[in-house]
């Protein structure tokens, strides 16, 4: 049975494309692997896969008894519920090291880049693994998505270098135009409030507090009507009640380069203060990255 190359729960474009690109890398080295995902593609990801003619990975929710390579995460909270019954073989990631562990040595590549696909591009170069044009285009889009068109503070020179190389392989002439088309697809609000919250949502263990953080990136926050915002806030309270200390939704305006934050928390004042917001002013100027600008200050605040 093939080993699984698996991204995190509530997969974003980087997670799904990383499963495909890492599987390509591993197969080039003679490993028997299959790309997998823990959910269906969101609108942005579907646009990317359709644009380059790629098939979405198989959706998998149980990994008991399987060999698994993780991409784009290393936290148990983002893995399948029965992950401890699987055998961890490897990790490729660009986040902080999480709490997964293994019973045997494994290969792990974790670099402080803006996108997991940047790490996979570098590994493909190192192992001389050819990247097909269609896959290169999707990898380029993953970088554009995770770095928010290179505007995010997580973006590095390595991300820009990888994007340029992948654009050449894919034959993409206008990277910015492709990115804008992708973000227009991402701005699709034709979904339930719950689906919008969970479009890109991750749970974190912060000093014993379960904190769920979703991020919804839009061309403009003007797209969100007062009625929709009220519905999102109401649904967020329900998400919080499902065993979480806090549920947070970061609404990011790509063009204004900032975010508005919605919260439902047992520690509302602590959360708002940590993010530099208040009950009367929830706009976070310059905040684009959950990984770098939202999670770290919250973790520090919950540590006390």
Using CA atoms, how far apart are residues 145 and 159, in angstroms rounded to an integer?
11
pLDDT at 46: 97
Sign of the torsion angle spanned by Cα atoms 200, 94, 57, 219? positive
Mean pLDDT of all residues in 118-127: 98
pLDDT of residue 267: 96
pLDDT band for position 208 (50/70/90)?
very high
CATH annotation of 3-184: 3.90.1640.10
Dist. CA 98–CA 254, nearest whole Å: 28
Between β-strands 246-253 and 258-265, what pairing exists: parallel, antiparallel or unpaired? Answer: antiparallel
The CATH superfamily holding the domain 193-303 is: DHHA2 domain (3.10.310.20)
A 10 A CB-CB count for 81 gives: 12
Rounded Cα distance between 153 and 195, Å, is: 27
- Domain residue spans in the chain? 3-184, 193-303
Residue the block writes with tokens 């399948």: 80
What mean pLDDT is predicted for residues 242-262? 96
pLDDT at residue 280 in the model: 87
Task: Write down the pLDDT at residue 8.
Answer: 97
Residue 194 has pLDDT above 90, yes or no: yes
Alpha-helical regions (H) of 1-42? 13-28
Q: In this predicted model, what pLDDT tens digit does every residue of 59-91 receive, in sequence order?
A: 999 999 999 999 999 999 999 999 999 999 999
For residue 3, pLDDT over 90 is answered with yes
- What distance in Å separates the CA atoms of residue 197 and residue 20, rounded to the nearest whole number? 25
Region class of 207: left (phi > 0), else alpha (psi between -120 and 50), else beta: left
157 class by beta-carbon count within 10 Å (0-12 exposed, 13-18 middle, 19+ buried) = exposed
Q: Please list the residues that pair with 253 across neighbouring strands.
A: 218, 258
- The predicted model gives 291-303 an average pLDDT of 96
Q: What is the reported pLDDT for 148? A: 94
The pLDDT confidence band at residue 56, using thresholds 50, 70 and 90, is: very high
pTM, two decimals, is 0.89
pLDDT of residue 304: 80
């Amino acid at each position: 049975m093939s080993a699984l190359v698996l991204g995190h729960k509530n997969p974003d474009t980087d997670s799904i494309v990383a499963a495909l690109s890492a599987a390509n890398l591993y197969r080039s080295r003679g490993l028997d692997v299959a790309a997998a995902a823990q959910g269906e593609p969101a609108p942005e990801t579907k646009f990317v896969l359709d644009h380059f003619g790629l098939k979405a990975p198989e959706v998998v929710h149980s990994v008991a008894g399987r060999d698994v390579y993780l991409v784009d995460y290393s936290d148990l909270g983002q893995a399948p519920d029965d992950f401890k019954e699987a055998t961890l073989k490897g990790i490729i990631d660009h986040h902080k090291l999480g709490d997964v562990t293994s019973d045997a040595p494994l290969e792990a590549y974790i670099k402080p880049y803006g996108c997991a696909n940047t790490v996979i591009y570098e590994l493909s170069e190192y192992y001389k693994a050819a990247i097909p044009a269609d896959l290169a285009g999707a990898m380029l889009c993953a970088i554009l998505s995770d770095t928010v068109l290179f505007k995010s503070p997580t973006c590095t020179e390595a991300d820009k270098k990888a994007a340029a190389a992948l654009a050449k392989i894919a034959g993409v002439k206008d990277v910015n135009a492709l990115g804008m088309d992708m973000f227009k697809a991402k701005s699709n609000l034709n979904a339930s409030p719950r689906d919008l919250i969970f479009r890109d949502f991750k749970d974190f263990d912060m000093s014993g507090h379960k904190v769920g953080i979703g991020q919804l990136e839009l061309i403009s926050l003007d797209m969100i009507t007062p009625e929709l915002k009220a519905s999102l806030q109401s649904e967020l309270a329900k998400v919080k009640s499902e065993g979480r200390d806090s549920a947070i939704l970061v609404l990011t305006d790509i063009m204004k380069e900032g975010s508005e934050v919605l919260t439902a928390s047992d520690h509302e004042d602590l959360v708002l203060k940590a993010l530099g917001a208040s009950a009367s002013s929830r706009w976070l100027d310059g905040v684009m990255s959950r990984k770098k600008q939202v999670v770290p200050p919250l973790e520090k605040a919950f540590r006390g």
